[in-house]
Structure 1
Amino acid sequence: MTTYFDDLETRSADEREAAQMEALRAQLRAVQGLRGYRDSLGLIDPSEIDGMADLAVLPVLRKSELGAAQGQSSPFGGFTAKTAGEFAHIFQSPGPIYEPGEISHDWWRVGRFLHAAGIGRGDIVQNCFGYHLTPAGMIFESGARAVQAAVLPAGVGQTELQVRAAADVGTTAYAGTPDYL
């Protein structure tokens, strides 16, 4: 493949790390005022995060801690700057854990992966991930749109209809779990 998804792929390792560290520092500054992050990140000085080795000083938020925080302050546990009604999507993962989502270009950042797999304009992605409660269906749809591929939003189930749809529309790529394929 001779094309790149975007200019980010042609940066040097030093440029990439510098950009990542600046983005991390900006993200830390943005979330330190949020109730959910106050105890764990409130005492961290973002300006002291200089390289990948400094990631070791950042605390890990465990799924059980996130679920407990969301149980006390539904739905996002104080970890978002926006209210639930200000997001385009709200997903539920097992736990339950609630996750916000948006519709902006390649929100879930799967476009780069699909591009690297050779999927792009002219392809039809049969998306067999679920389009309910969990974000998997929307994740792959967002990525397919980012590489200008068409999407057949198939979801799960109805195997005979799925095979027929794949043949009728000319599906060129599959997105879904290996066991469903």
Structure 2
Amino acid sequence: MFFNEDFETLPREALRALQLKRLKAMVARVQESVPFYQEALKKADVNADSITSLEDLSRLPFTYKQDMRDSYPYRMFAVPMEEIVRIHASSGTTGKPTVVGYTKKDIENWSELMARSFVAAGVNRGDIIHNAYGYGLFTGGLGAHYGAERLGASVIPMSGGNTKKQIMIMQDFGSTVLTCTPSYSLFMAEAAKEEGIDFRELKLKVGIFGAEPWSEEMRADIEAKLNLTAVDIYGLSEIMGPGVAIECHQAKKGLHIWEDHFIPEIINPETGEVLGEGEEGELVITTITKEGIPLIRYRTRDITSLTYEPCVCGRTHARITRMSGRSDDMLIIRGVNVFPSQIESILMSVEGVEPHYLLIVDRKENLDTLEVQVEVGEHLFSDEIKHLQALSQRIEKQIKEMLGVTSRVRLVEPKSIARSEGKAKRVIDNRKKA
């Protein structure tokens, strides 16, 4: 039922005492080793010695994703590079990734928290975990992989794509657990149906899905089509990767966030005011055990709420509700973070393309789609069709190579995209209407 019962069921008072001790130690470390935090803490007139209770957390400065971009690649690291054993990265608006480094201890902690997450989802060491999250700089694949090995389960490192082979492997290898994005699981279901394969004949019992927003309606659809229990997992590379929080299979009502490693807050995204239990706002996370790149009050931009109500599973850690959206303009397409400004940067580097574009995001056959409409100059629009097609394909290739997302580029005639006297409307997300 538990992977580490002593910590997962700590009484609230003991958990808060541990958080305070670890918070003070972390702040002491970064004020000694990270120039960014030396300056930020001095400006906020706070240091490790002045923190006497968890209520003092609100006195500490926020950390933004832009701060990490500005510190590219290693200036936020709190330890020398010889202590960093792994580097991951996520995309940023400028084309430069947000870089995170892990010490040996960080990897050990991450592996344990993913093992905890697997057990909370109803997985045990006798399971065969089919891991279809992407391997590489993206944290999903390796995060789940190391957690599965820490648990002692068997792990199949499939990564994404090659859907027919994925289904064949699940059949032949007797996979009992599936990890991937929720939309990809439904695509698998469609592909299996086309091949005449019934998921009810497979041994899958649990699906652990994350990396993109999904609804309760999608959960019901996944559970019906894949014949398994679908569990929501949350994480972000800046904080750790997958396994920051997860639903327990007993309740599936909010995601337990591992508070012995992270302190969560909910704030008003406009004012920064700390909100109370049950109030919806932006999730802010402080890491209290990370060595490589500790973060103070990191603004996740994810909108949710917190509850400390006891859970039927026996875990005492707070739960966050399913994410209802983001406080910024970032799009999540098939688990990949995409900012309109990233695409704009690519478009504006193409000769003959005008600075007027529209991104249309939709969901077709259970997979996210991205169409990029961009105006071209008069001389190009009157060019031969084969030249326009070649230009569209070149832009699609650049978007795929730079952002890791597949798109369809439509070149449209001049002045066909609506103008605005105020803020330009760059995105139409039809997934929100579904």
What's the counterpart of residue 129 of structure 1?
Answer: 133
In the other structure, the counterpart of 1:97 is 98
Alignment partner of 1:170 out of 161, 171, 174: 174
Which residue does 1:41 correspond to in 2? 41
- How far did 1:30 drift? 1.1
Deviation of residue 86 (structure 1)?
A: 3.7
Instruction: Give 1:58 deviation, angstroms.
Output: 1.3
1:4-153 equivalences under 5 Å are: 5-33=4-32, 34-42=34-42, 43-70=45-72, 75-83=73-81, 86-95=83-92, 96-102=97-103, 104-107=107-110, 109-153=113-157
Distance 1:27 1:11, change over 3 A: same
Q: Report SS of the residue matched to 1:137.
A: helix
Identity percentage of aligned residues: 30
Task: Tell me how far 1:46 sits from its aligned partner.
Answer: 1.6
Alpha-carbon distance in structure 2 between the residues aligned to 1:80 and 1:4 = 29
What amino acid is the match of 2:17?
A: A
Aligned-pair CA distance for 1:106 = 4.2
Larger radius of gyration: 2
Task: Give how far 1:41 is off.
Answer: 2.6
Asked if the contact 1:106–1:142 (Cα under 8 Å) also holds between the matched residues in 2, the reply is no
Aligned to 2:189: none
RMSD: 1.9
Tell me the secondary structure at the aligned position of residue 184 of structure 2: coil
Distance 1:52 1:38 in 2: 20
- Contact map agreement 2:77 2:101 (CA 8 A) in 1: no
- Distance apart, 1:101 and its partner CA: 2.8
Q: Provide the residue aligned with 2:386 in structure 1.
A: none
Give the aligned length: 175
Moved more, 118-127 or 33-42: 33-42
TM-score for the superposition, normalised by structure 1: 0.87
Instruction: Note closer, same or farther for the CA distance 1:135–1:48 as it changes in structure 2 (3 Å cut).
Output: same
The structure in which a higher percent of residues are helix is 1
Q: Name which structure has the greater RCO, CA cutoff 8 Å, separation 6+.
A: 1
The Cα offsets for residues 132-170 of structure 1, whole Å up to 9 and x where unpaired, read as 111111111122122221111111000011111111111
Deviation at 1:102, TM superposition (A): 4.6
Could you tell me the TM-score, scaled by structure 2's length? 0.38
Q: Deviation digits for residues 102-151 of structure 1, max 9, x if unmatched?
A: 55434252222111111121111111111011111111112212222111
